[in-house]
Amino acid sequence: MPRLPDSLDAVDDDARGLDLLADDLAIDAYLDDALDDDARRAFARRLDDEPALRDELALARRVRDTLRTLPAARCPDGVRDAALAHARRSTLRAVATPAGATSDAPAASAAPTVLRTPPSRVGAPTLLALAALFALAVGALVLLRADGLLRTDAAAPTLAAQPAQVESPAVDPDAPDAQEIAQATADVKRALAYLGQIQTRSAAAVSDTVMRERVARPLIQRVRDAIDTDRPTRDAPPA
C-alpha cells in the first residue's frame, strides 16, 4: 500500500538524501524548453558525446510523455450535485428565516461527511399549512355546490361535523345526502394524504414566504370571493 509517513513533516525528509545533479536539472530544463539558445546547443553537443546522458534524457522524455497520457482525476458528478444542492437548500432556508434570525448555515465542518444522497429538507410546517389550506378550499367548494348546506363560516375543519348541522335538506332535492358528504370528506382526506406524500418525496425546500404570498393568499381570496358571490342569493329573503 502507499507508504504513509509517520508525520506529515517526515515526508520531506524522504527526499533529502537524493542529490540532484546539474545534469538532472539540465535534463528537465531541456525537456521543458527552458534553456536559452547557447545552453541548449551546449547540452545537445554533450548528448552527442555522452551515451549515458543520452539514455537518461530518453528515459526522462518517456516518463514525461507517459505521465501526460495518464488520465487526470475528474470529480464525480455526485459530489458536484451534492454541493450545489446544499447551496440551494441553504438559500431557501435563508429566505424562510424570519427577520433578525441568522440565516447562515452551519459550518461545513459540522456537516455530514457523506451528502451525496441528501435527505429531503421540506419544511413540514409549511406543507401542513398548505394541506390545511387545500382542505379548506375543497371543503368550501363542496359546501358552495350544496346550496342548502352553505354556511357563512364554511371551513374544512368543521366538515366532519357538518352532517349533524344540516338544516332541512329535504327542502332542496339537489342537496347532497349523507353518502355524498362522506364521499367529499374522503376526497379531502385523500388530498391530505397526497400532500403528505409530496412532502416526503420532495427534495426542495419551500419558502414560507413564497407559499404565503403566492399560494395561500390567492387561494384564500378565491374562497372568499366564491363565498361572497354566493352570499346574496343565500341571504336573500324568500320570495
Partner 1 sequence: MDLGTYERHVDDHKDRVFALALTLLGQRQDAEDVTQETLIKLWDQGRALAPAHVGPWLLRVARNASYDLLRRRQVRQRVHGDEDGDPIADRTVDDRAGDPHDDAERACFRRRLQQAIAHLPASIRTVVVLREIQGMAYDDIAQAVDRPLNTVKVYLHRGRKLLRTALDEEPRHAQAS
Closest approach, Cβ 205 to partner 1, in A, equals 14
Q: Which is nearer to partner 1, 107 or 164 (CB)?
A: 107
Count of Cβ atoms closer than 10 Å to residue 118 Cβ: 15
User: Least distance (Å) from partner 1 to the CB of residue 2?
Assistant: 5
Give yes or no for a contact between 117 and 203, defined as CB atoms under 8 angstroms apart: no
Nearer to partner 1 (CB atom), residue 31 or residue 191: 31
CB of 107 to partner 1, least distance (A): 6
Q: Is the CB of 106 or the CB of 232 nearer to partner 1? A: 106
Output the CA torsion sign for 65, 69, 71, 72.
positive
Beta carbons within 10 angstroms of residue 209's beta carbon: 13
Residue 140 Cα to chain centre, angstroms:
34
Which set of grid coordinates corresponds to residue 111? 456537516
Nearer to partner 1, 67 or 161 (CB): 67
Cell representation of residue 94 = 435563508
Find the shortest distance in angstroms from Cβ 68 to partner 1: 7
**For partner 1, which is the closer residue by CB, 42 or 84?**
84
Q: For residue 117, give the DSSP letter.
A: S
Residue pair 203/118 in contact by the 8 Å Cβ criterion: yes
Cβ of residue 86: shortest distance to partner 1, in angstroms? 5
Strands (E), 125-197: none
Closer residue to partner 1, CB minimum distance, 41 or 80: 80
181: amino acid identity, one letter: I
Report the nearest approach of partner 1 to the CB of residue 208 (Å): 20
Q: Which residues bind partner 1 (CB under 8 A)?
A: 1-6, 8, 11-12, 14-15, 18, 20, 24-25, 28, 56, 59-60, 62-64, 66-76, 78-80, 82-84, 86-88, 90-91, 104-109, 111, 113-116
DSSP H/E element including 217: helix 217-235
